[in-house]
Amino acid sequence: MALWSQVLRSILMLGLEERIHYGKAAIAVTDIGDRAILAFADGTTAHADIVIGADGANSALRAHATPGREPVELPVAAIYGRSTIETLSKELSDSGVLALEGPPGRGAFFASMQYHEAPKTAFARLAPGADAPDDHDYVMWALSFPRSDAPAGQEPETLHAFARTLAADFHPVIRRMVEQGDPGSLIHTFMRAAQRPTTWTMPHVARLGDAAHLMPPFGAAGGNTALRDAAVLAEMLRTLPPTQALAAYLKEMGAYAFKEVEASVKQMKRLTQTGQLAQ
């Protein structure tokens, strides 16, 4: 998890510490008519009026909630990493840049991640005693490439060496950024895209974020769409009975989220396709 995500997670957890249970990996959900039953990896279960699957790109609940609609694999993979903010010049320190270079299908992206106030300082001022990751300004970068070129190993050293090879044809700024990247931060991912469900079959179950509408990062709409999900769902639950709220949320979410999925896939194809003019 990126450190900025840990900061956001810490903010969202404020006031909920006693309601969060660890070591209870959810593996399945069943709707039994008047409620849902959530099954955990340790063999226990829990009954709930509603279940919201916000368990990310590799959602364990997705296949149960919308069987047969697992995300489709895309022909692109990526390596994400981070470097110190000092790897950027002052002119680029508040920029986001997408570059295409080298063999067809390869690209590079970077953006500076800067806090107006250090998380620990802000938490100490606004929420004394709350857990705050010790984060600082940095550069987030990513290198995309054809899935077929993916390295066999996942060790940090292997990924870093592969990333340096990918960056060899790029501008010196990108090469320096990758060269000085923190090997422990590297994440290798294969891109996938959610399929629009033909129906939502569980009245007491809904999903949000990547668990509902996984999309490639071309267009940078995934996080914003997840936050929109949360706002829409919260408003529906505030104004409607639970199952009506979920139905209303799923209808509205389905209308906007899968437009973003389709747009991000289209953007990915424009930027990575080979051997033909972009459509």
**SS3 annotation, the chain:** CCHHHHHHHHHHHCCCHHHCCCCCCEEEEEECCCCEEEEECCCCEEEECCEEECCCCCCCCHHHHCCCCCCEEEEEEEEEEEEEHHHCCHHHCCCEEEEECCCCCCEEEEEEECCCCCHHHHHHHHCCCCCCCCCCCEEEEEEEEEHHHCCCCCCHHHHHHHHHHHHHHCCHHHHHHHHCCCHHHCEEEEEEECCCCCCCCCCCEEECCHHHHCCCCCCCCHHHHHHHHHHHHHHHHHHCCHHHHHHHHHHHHHHHHHHHHHHHHHHHHHHHCCCCCCC
pTM of the predicted protein model = 0.84
Give me the phi and psi of 252, to 5 degrees please: -70, -45
Q: What is the pLDDT of residues 146-159, one digit of tens each?
A: 999 999 888 999 99
Residue owning tokens 């010196």: 172
Angle of CA points 185, 189, 192, to nearest 5°: 150
Residue 102 confidence (pLDDT): 63
Question: Mean per-residue pLDDT for 18-41?
Answer: 90
Please report which confidence band the pLDDT of residue 22 belongs to, taking 50, 70 and 90 as the band edges.
confident
- Whether 76 and 191 have beta carbons less than 8 Å apart is answered as yes
Contacts of 87 (CB under 8 A, 6+ apart): 139, 173, 176, 177, 180
Q: What is the pLDDT of residues 63-96, one digit of tens each?
A: 888 888 899 999 999 999 999 888 877 767 676 7
Residue 1 has pLDDT above 50, yes or no: no
Q: Using CA atoms in the order 231, 234, 239, 245, what is the torsion angle rounded to 10 degrees?
A: 100
Residue 274 confidence (pLDDT): 57
Residue 105 confidence (pLDDT): 75
Residue 45 has pLDDT above 90, yes or no: yes
Residue 238 has pLDDT above 90, yes or no: yes
CA end-to-end distance (rounded Å), the chain: 34
Residue 3 has pLDDT above 80, yes or no: no
Residue 275 confidence (pLDDT): 52
Q: What is the pLDDT of residues 191-233, one digit of tens each?
A: 999 999 888 889 999 999 999 999 998 888 888 999 999 999 9
Tell me the C-alpha distance between 279 and 125, whole Å: 51
